Homo-oligomer: A and B are copies of this chain.
Amino acid sequence: MALTEVSSNKSFGGFQKVFEHTSMQLGCKMKFGIYLPPKAEQQKCPILYWLSGLTCTEQNFVTKAGAQKLASEFGIIVVAPDTSPRGCAVPGEDENWDLGTGAGFYVDATQEPWSKHYRMYSYITAELPTVLQKSFPVLPDKQSIMGHSMGGHGALVCCLRNPGLYKSVSAFAPICNPVQCPWGHKAFQNYLGADQDAWKLYDATCLVLSYEGPPLDILVDQGSADSFLTAGQLLPENFTNACSKKQLPVVLRMQEGYDHSYFFIASFIEDHIKHHAKFLLA
Binding site for B on A (CB under 8 A): 9-13, 16, 63-64, 66, 68-69, 223, 225, 257-259, 261-264, 266-267
Contacts and interface: CB of A to CB of B under 8 A. Distances in A.
* Main SS class of interface, A: mixed
Contacts of A13: 267
A11 B263 contact: yes
> How many copies of this chain does the complex contain?
2
Contact of A257 (B10, B16, B66, B223): B10
Contacts of A64: 63-64
A10 B66 contact: no
A103 B264 CA distance: 31
Given A63-B64, A64-B63, A66-B66, A10 B223 contact: yes
Contacts of A258: 10
Contacts of A264: 9-11
Given A63-B64, A64-B64, A66-B66, A11 B223 contact: no
Contacts of A16: 263
Contacts of A263: 9-11, 16, 68
Contact of A63 (B10, B63, B223, B267): B63
Nearest to A270: B69
